[in-house]
Every structure is written in C-alpha cells, then in structure tokens.
Amino acid sequence: MKTYTNLTTRAESRTLQVLLIVVSIALGWILLPFYETIMWGAIIALMFKPLHRRLLVALSHRRTLAALLTLLIVVTVVILPFVLLTAALAREVTVIYAQLQSGELNPSVYFRGIFNALPDWISALLARFGLGNFDVLQYRLGTALTQGSQFIATKALSIGQNAFEFIASLFVTLYLAFFLIRDGDFMAHAIRRMIPLAPAHKLELFGKFATVIRATVKGNLLVAAVQGALGGLAFWFLGISGALLWAVFMAFCSLVPAVGAGLIWLPVAIYFFVTGVVWKGVALTAFGLLVIGLIDNLLRPLLVGKDTRMPDYLVMLTTLGGMVVFGINGFVLGPMIAAMFLAVWHIHGSTRTELAPPTGIEPISSA
C-alpha cells in the first residue's frame, strides 16, 4: 500500500511538472508579441524602484500615490524628452529627404571632390575593381543613396503613420510599469518562493539579474546619450548639416562597445582631410579621440563592466550578439543572458562542490 501511494505521488508530481511546463510555454507564446512592452515596463520599474522607496517613506507608505508620483517623474524626465527628440528627428529627416529630392543637397559634389583628391595608389586600386571611372562610381553611390534616403523617408513616414500604435504601446508600458513599481516587491517575493533553489542561490540569481539590468541600461544609455550629444555639438560647430540626425546615429552606434561613435565621425574626418579642409579634420579627429573616445573608455567599464563583474570582451560580444538576435533591445538582453549564464553555472559548480565527498575519503558503500 505504501509503495502504491509513493508511486501515485511521484506520478502526480511528474504530471504537475509537465502541466507547469505546458502552461508556462503557452503563456509565453501568448505574451511573445508584447515582449518589448513587458521588458521595458519591467526595466522602468527596476530602474526607478529606489526612487519609489524614498517616496514611499515620505508619503507614509501610501503605495498607490508613491507609484503614481514615480511614474509622473518617469514621464517628465524620460518619456517626454524622448518623444520631443523623436519628433525633431522626424522633421529633420523629412527636410534632408526634400533637399535630396530637389537637388539642393547633392552628395555627388562631395564624392567628386573626394575622388579627385585621392592619392594615385588608391585610384589605381579602385581601377583594379572597375571603379576607376567616377561616373560609374557616382551611379552606384547615387543608387545606394537614393535607396537609403527612400528607406529613411519611409521610416520617418511610418513613424507618423504608426503614431497611434506607438502611443498605445507606450501607454501599455507605463500602465504595466505602474503595477510593477507598486507591487513589484510582492511579485518578486512570490516568484522567489516558487523557485526550487536554496535561499542563497535565489538571492544570487535575483541580485545578478537586477544588477545587470541596472548597469546595462544605465551605463549604455548614459554613454550613448553623452557621446551622441557631444558628437552632434561637434558637427554643428563644424557646420555639418543634419547635426541632430548625426547625433542620433552616433548615439545608436555608441551602444556597440569598442567601435562606437567612431563609425560616424571618423569617415567625416577622413573626408575633411581628403578634401583639403585640414583644420576641420584635425579638430574632429582630436575631439573624437580625446573626448568622445575617452568617455567610452572611462564610463562604460565603470558603469557596465564593473557592476556586472563581466570582462569587457564578454560585454562587447554579448551586446553585439544580442543586437543581431533581438534588434535594439539586444543591448540589454545580450549581457543579461550572459550574466545569468555565469550565475547559473556558478551555482551549479558550488552545488556540486557541496555534494561531493571530501578528497581522499571513500564514500560509504551501501553494502
């Protein structure tokens, strides 16, 4: 009878585990279209949780009011500037596209100046690849630029056409963030209680998760914003049109460690050197290396690598890989997955060490 009861209990346990896996996969499948909304709602709640705790104490632990005030600060400090920047960027992209279409902005003039100023050995190298004739090169560049400008204009137009979708997604993100800010501690406690791990291991996993999210978002976004702003100011000072657009491009490229904003300012500096505007080339190169590059070398390891306790090369590889797999959200998801991978393997190794018999002592045989 006892054996039958044990078998029944084990069967029920296995059935329950299978059901848990099935319903978890089903729920994940349903929520998959909203993973970006859920992710950023959780990130907002996690990033502003310390502020919410201070407001909670100041407001005599009125959780709803403290969460509302926290969300209002998020909207004022983060969301509103982002929306204004997006609107200004869309306007600037539309103006640049109109200038390209009207001929007011003619990139072929700039390319011809670069082509005529090229050294002989570069001209011979281009001729070897069938690019020695500028008219052929201009046709290919013109086709690529036309396609690129049409793509940019289409994206700018789609931003306006999908304004309702963006606003709805933003509303859902903030709505979710409100409840996560207000009730996040209870949710985290419930999740910790259901995970079948030792309390120390649970603490390590949740601590690593929160640390990596905060460090990655805070570090990468801060570095990107500072580098983009400084690069945009440098372009504006040097009289380069579309400084805001270039600033956004530099901020986006800054999310990639090591390479960063140099993908934008370095070709422009080379253009200045080739076309004979040496002082602008020297100024932009010096500013890019000594100011923009120094910020990346100082702030990123301090804010990202130091807090996550991951090597710089691993942060770079997982950021790049994450962006390839998940798009722009990969700069958060890539390092987070890597950090959780390291944490789980560390827990696995420590658990095996605890269970292993001491060295030199034979395990007691059951015989």
CB 307 within 8 A of CB 207: no
What is the pTM assigned to this prediction? 0.70
- Picking from 299, 161, 165, 278, the residue whose alpha carbon sits closest to that of residue 225 is 299
Distance of CA 181 to the CA centre of its chain: 22
CB 111 within 8 A of CB 117: no
- Picking from 242, 255, 284, 287, the residue whose alpha carbon sits closest to that of residue 267 is 284
Most confident range (mean pLDDT) of 45-49, 211-215, 303-307 is 45-49
For residue 186, the tally of other CB atoms under 10 A from its CB is 10
pLDDT tens digit sequence for 270-306: 878 877 788 888 888 888 888 888 777 777 666 665 6
What's the CA gap between 333 and 54, in Å, rounded?
A: 28
What's the CA gap between 331 and 40, in Å, rounded?
A: 13
End-to-end Cα distance, the chain: 27
Res 338 pLDDT > 80:
yes
DSSP 359: T
**DSSP string covering 94-156, please?**
HHHHHHHHHTSS-HHHHHHHHHHTS-HHHHHHHHHTT--SHHHHHHHHHHHHHHHHHHHHHHH
Res 353 pLDDT > 70:
no
What's the CA gap between 147 and 13, in Å, rounded?
A: 59
* Residue bearing tokens 């120094």: 294
Most confident range (mean pLDDT) of 176-190, 312-326, 346-360 is 176-190
Q: Provide the residue ranges of all domains of the chain, joining segments of one domain with +.
A: 32-194, 197-350
As a dihedral over the C-alpha atoms of residue 224, residue 226, residue 228, residue 229, rounded to 10 degrees, the angle is 160
